Amino acid sequence: MPTYLGMPAFPEAAAAALGNSQLRRNLAHATGTIRVKRAAAVAELSDWAELRAAGRAIKDHTLANLDFYLTRLEERVVSAGGQVHWAADAEEANAIVAGLVRAAGADQVVKVKSMVTQETGLNEALAAEHIHALETDLAELIVQLDGDRPSHILVPAIHRNRAEIKDIFLKDMPGVPADLTDRPADLAGAARSYLRRTFLRATVGISGANFAIADTGTLVVVESEGNGRMCLTLPETLISVVGIEKILPSWRDLEVFLALLPRSSTAERMNPYTSTWTGVTPGDGPRAFHLVLLDNGRTSALADATGRQALRCIRCSACLNVCPVYERTGGHAYGSPYPGPIGAIITPLLRGVTSPIDASLPYASSLCGACYDVCPVAINIPEALVHLRGKVVDAKRHGFPRPERMAMATAGWTLRSPRRLGLAQRAASASRKVVGRSGRIRRLPPPLSGWTRTRDAPAPPPESFRAWWARTRGGGG
Amino acid sequence: MRIALFVTCLADTLFPKAGQALVTLLERLGHEVAFPMDQTCCGQMHLNSGYRREAVPMVTGFTEAFGKFDAIVTPSASCAAMVREYHPALAASTGDRALAREAERIAPRVHELSGLLVNVLGVTDVGAYFPHRVTYHPSCHSLRMMRVGDAPLRLLRAVRGIDLVDLPDDETCCGFGGTFSLKNPDVSAAMGADKVSAVLQTGAQVLCSSDNSCLMHIGGALSRLRAGVATMHLAEILASTESTGGAQVSR
């Protein structure tokens, strides 16, 4: 994910975002609305728990037999007239796509909203080859016109309100009517007429896929606006970049996910457009189909026994919408196209924990567990976060001990001995006379100053519980 | 019933009143409370901060201190969840099979206070008296790990004299999150600010919860604002009666 290099660590980026009152307002409104709708959509199904268990089981089975299903998918796509390319990382995937676009003689491509091409930084890579990639999803278009980055998996412009969108269109959209208002229908109309002109000229379309069905070599895209259907059917050449974890064994399995995904993501019983295609069909749709299968860290995530559950993710974004951290910071602070709770585990699993932003992501959570409750494939995000925190700490164990590690070592030494804990408590109680005459401490030294910057701390009590017990009950239990 | 008290390092050191109230309450209900003096900490701070290795001695210590008891109660849903959900796996990861078996055996015996009272002992009216306006913050780990449901609210509704008011957006995290509060102090404070605002909307005199950690965080923010709202653990309200000064708000 090259475009995110050099991002500050999460706490610093988040602190800046917290000060943006428009962002706070937009996010609280949008996530609050969708939370309520999702809960209602899910509550309609009496067998949600069973569906969720089935979704989890299908994904786990496929991931455990990924070599088999990938080979089968390749066979079936090829026999249906498609070509399959394998990309080990983002750079390889981008080079393959650029080569295919050039071979098709195009200098412009239309794109279906795709997380995986955000992950590889495809648009930037194509731009370096003088190929313009046009995003056709409305929210992606808003973000692209503004030179901004998506901040949500499903709703990339969730951080913008309609007044801001109107301004972006007036400033950056070619041929936009000068009397554009901020009415949603007007904004959609302006985007529609701009996009329609582009669709009719496009010769190459680029997509991701929500699912890839191994049995038949069929790709599936689930969307709301119909722009995907246009990109998938109008151009002569279609290139789909798909992460290797997107496979489902058969059409039967798709049924489960078409129930889980729309309710979890847009709170709809069924999404408006579900497009499926298998290789090429003479006289109908693209004449050339290329499938680029991408690893980019997925096999190393698969090798991580606790972390691999993240590969079950179907990018619904339900976890973002219920996350109290995401709701307040927005998506940009996560330094990755995958923000929110799922991003805080997927990004370090794919990229490792060496950079400041990646090492800070597993800590960007209060571990409240709301994400796990809503996840349609039961990814235990808190468990994975704690596991990845262990990796962050272990990666820094060699070398000079930092203050945090020394503090944790001291705390551990104290807390594993009842005698030492008792002594520390007596020292704390004695300090009461100095630090907490009012019962509240207003200021503490680092690293506890982070606490007292916004909160008072309780003064130690005159005696600890164990001292009270020993005094009144004479010790032993 | 003989019940062992795991008071938690936090309550032991900073909030002994919660532990004392729990003892008072269980004894009033006719139970015998034991306090193994060799107990210390469940290791949650270390594990959740990434110091898995350092948390292991706390698991060992916990099994040694509590191995001989059939029922263990703690005034923290969060620490109860740590013992139940993470001790067995943490013990197993050491390769010490005896420790893993022991952690597995003890885990289901650990109860958070409201779960013990309502689901194990089958009481909701504990004979308490607390004539004050109270609002209840359900901690994330009580809701989503211990799954106590409305057990704390059922206990509070049965308290004589209480004016129990709903907390808006009660199931949203308060922003404590252990070392999250230090590592991401700004986000933690922003979450705390919204919780404080919800508490103030209720006009409650007392904010109650099943976790001292949430109370330390929300209470610290309330105190910084000089908001005049007291924080009390569920055990403290349930321990209050006419004869023990139930008319007084303790802090």
Q: Does A362 touch chain B (CB under 8 A)?
A: yes
CA distances (Å), origin B81, targets A16, A460, B43, B44, B76: 34, 26, 11, 9, 9
CA distances (Å), origin A281, targets A76, A289, B66: 14, 10, 69
Which residues in chain A are contacts of B224 at CB distance < 8 A?
442, 454-456
Contact status, residue B44 vs residue B82, Cβ threshold 8 Å: yes
Contact status, residue B229 vs residue B206, Cβ threshold 8 Å: yes
b/e map of B26-61 (b: 16 or more CB within 10 Å)? beeeebebbbbeebbbbbbbbbbbbbbbbbbbbbbb
Q: Which amino acid is at B143?
A: L
* Angle (deg, nearest 10), helices A138-145 and A162-172: 60
Task: From B108, B73, B82, select the one nearest B238 (Cα to Cα).
Answer: B73
Q: How many whole angstroms separate alpha carbon A85 and alpha carbon A290?
A: 7
Sheet with A211-213, side-by-side order of all strands: A247-248, A211-213, A218-223, A273-278
Closest chain A residue to B16 measured between Cα atoms?
A: A465
**For a pLDDT cut of 70, what percent of chain B falls above it?**
98
Q: What pLDDT was estimated at residue B243?
A: 87
SS3 sequence of A270-290:
CCCEEEEEECCECCECCCEEE
Contact status, residue A301 vs residue A340, Cβ threshold 8 Å: no
Burial class (CB in 10 A: 0-12, 13-18, 19+), B244: middle
Q: How many whole angstroms separate alpha carbon B94 and alpha carbon B100?
A: 8
pLDDT tens track for B68-117: 999 999 999 999 999 999 999 999 999 999 999 999 999 999 999 999 99
What is the pTM assigned to this prediction?
Answer: 0.96
Q: Do A466 and B7 touch (CB under 8 A)?
A: yes
CA distances (Å), origin A412, targets A209, A446, B13, B52, B57: 48, 19, 15, 11, 8
Phi and psi, residue B74, nearest 5°: -140, 145
List all residues 6 or more positions away from A23 whose beta carbon is below 8 Å from its beta carbon: A17, A159, A330
Closest chain A residue to B61 measured between Cα atoms?
A: A416
List all residues 6 or more positions away from A41 whose beta carbon is below 8 Å from its beta carbon: A262, A263, A267, A268, A269
Contact status, residue A365 vs residue B48, Cβ threshold 8 Å: no
- Strands A440-441 and A247-248, by their bridges, are unpaired
Q: What pLDDT was estimated at residue A475?
A: 56
Q: What pLDDT was estimated at residue A477?
A: 47
ipTM tops the 0.90 cut:
yes
Q: Does B140 touch chain A (CB under 8 A)?
A: yes
Q: Does A435 touch chain B (CB under 8 A)?
A: no
Give strand pairing partners of A206.
Answer: A111, A239
Q: What pLDDT was estimated at residue A402?
A: 82
Q: How many whole angstroms separate alpha carbon A149 and alpha carbon A139?
A: 11
pLDDT tens track for B198-224: 999 999 999 999 999 999 999 999 999
Q: Does A417 touch chain B (CB under 8 A)?
A: yes
Q: What pLDDT was estimated at residue A1?
A: 44
Mean pLDDT in order along chain A per 10 residues (477 residues): 72 96 94 97 98 98 98 98 98 98 97 96 97 96 95 93 95 94 95 91 96 98 95 96 98 97 97 97 95 98 98 98 97 96 98 95 98 98 98 88 87 93 92 76 88 93 96 73
Task: From B17, B168, B146, select the one nearest B81 (Cα to Cα).
Answer: B146
CB pairs below 8 Å between A and B: how many? Answer: 191
**For a pLDDT cut of 90, what percent of chain B falls above it?**
96
Q: Do B51 and A440 touch (CB under 8 A)?
A: no
b/e map of B128-159 (b: 16 or more CB within 10 Å)? bbbebebbbbbbbbbbbbbebeebbbbbbeeb
Q: How many whole angstroms separate alpha carbon A472 and alpha carbon B27?
A: 15
- Strands B32-34 and B110-112, by their bridges, are unpaired
Distance from CA of B153 to the nearest CA of A (A): 20
Helix, strand, coil fractions of chain A, as percent rounded to 5: 55, 10, 35
Reported as half-sphere exposure (CB side, CA atoms, 13 A), residue A349 has a value of 28
Closest chain A residue to B182 measured between Cα atoms?
A: A450
Cα dihedral A470→A476→B2→B4 (10° resolution): 70
Q: Does B88 touch chain A (CB under 8 A)?
A: no
Tokens of B3: 């019940």
Contact status, residue A292 vs residue A93, Cβ threshold 8 Å: yes
Q: Do A465 and B50 touch (CB under 8 A)?
A: no
Q: Do A325 and B12 touch (CB under 8 A)?
A: no
Q: How confident is the model at residue B246 (pLDDT cuts 50, 70, 90)?
A: low
pLDDT tens track for B13-44: 999 999 999 999 999 999 999 999 999 999 99
Three-state SS for B163? Answer: strand
Residue limits of CATH 3.40.50.10420 in chain A: 2-298
Cα dihedral B177→B183→B186→B188 (10° resolution): 0
Q: Which of A362, A372, A415 sits opposite B40 (nearest CB)?
A: A415
Task: From B179, B172, B168, B170, select the one nearest A370 (Cα to Cα).
Answer: B172
Task: From A412, A385, A420, select the one nearest B59 (Cα to Cα).
Answer: A412
Q: How many whole angstroms separate alpha carbon A23 and alpha carbon A20?
A: 5
Q: What pLDDT was estimated at residue A401?
A: 72
Q: Which of A11, A421, A461 sits opposite B40 (nearest CB)?
A: A421
Q: Which of A390, A418, A450 sits opposite B182 (nearest CB)?
A: A450
Distance from CA of A244 to the nearest CA of B (A): 30
Cα torsion A332, A334, A337, A343: sign: negative
Q: What pLDDT was estimated at residue B109?
A: 98
Q: What pLDDT was estimated at residue A388?
A: 98
Q: What pLDDT was estimated at residue A436?
A: 63
Closest chain A residue to B146 measured between Cα atoms?
A: A369
Q: How many whole angstroms separate alpha carbon A382 and alpha carbon A395?
A: 20
pLDDT at B160 exceeding the cut of 80? yes
Ranges of beta strands (E only) in A76-227 are 83-87, 108-111, 132-135, 204-207, 211-213, 218-223
Q: Do A328 and B12 touch (CB under 8 A)?
A: no
CATH number attached to the domain at A2-298: 3.40.50.10420
User: Residue A111 gets which letter from DSSP?
Assistant: E
Distance from CA of B42 to the nearest CA of A (A): 9
Closest chain A residue to B4 measured between Cα atoms?
A: A477
pLDDT tens track for B108-128: 999 999 999 999 999 999 999
Q: Which of A23, A329, A365, A367 to mutate to test the interface with B (most CBs of B within 10 A)?
A: A367
